[in-house]
């Protein structure tokens, strides 16, 4: 089970999509157990199309507030 620091939430408008490495991203063909930092540079949010810079971790020093 992923720690909050490993789960990232999209910070655009009302999207709120959460990238969970335990699940990966089926639409984006990202395998389970792929860490957020290991996602391809061109990966986008499957809900709103935002890039990785629009995501924040759920826990840790840079966590979602």
| pLDDT per residue as tens digits for the range 11-48 | 998 899 999 999 999 999 999 999 999 999 999 999 99
Find the domain containing 23 and state its range. 1-65
For residue 5, pLDDT over 90 is answered with yes
Domain count, the chain: 1
Q: Which of 4, 3, 2 is nearest to 58 (CA)?
A: 4
Question: Tell me, what's the pLDDT at 14?
Answer: 86
- 15 to each of 19, 25, 33, 56, how far by Cα in Å? 12, 16, 23, 13
Tell me the two tokens of residue 56. 């924040």
The C-alpha atoms of residue 42 and residue 4 are separated, in whole angstroms, by 24
Q: Using an 8 Å Cβ cutoff, are 55 and 36 in contact?
A: yes
Overall average pLDDT of the 56-61 stretch: 90
Question: What pTM, to 2 d.p., does this model score?
Answer: 0.90
Question: Tell me, what's the pLDDT at 52?
Answer: 95
Residue 63 sits in a domain whose CATH number is 2.20.28.10
């Amino acid at each position: 089970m992923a720690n909050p620091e490993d789960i990232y939430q999209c910070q655009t408008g009302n999207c709120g999509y959460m990238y969970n490495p335990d699940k990966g991203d089926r639409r984006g063909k990202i395998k389970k157990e792929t860490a957020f930092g290991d996602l391809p540079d061109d990966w986008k949010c499957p809900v709103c199309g935002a890039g990785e810079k629009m995501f924040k971790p759920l826990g840790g020093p840079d966590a979602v507030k």
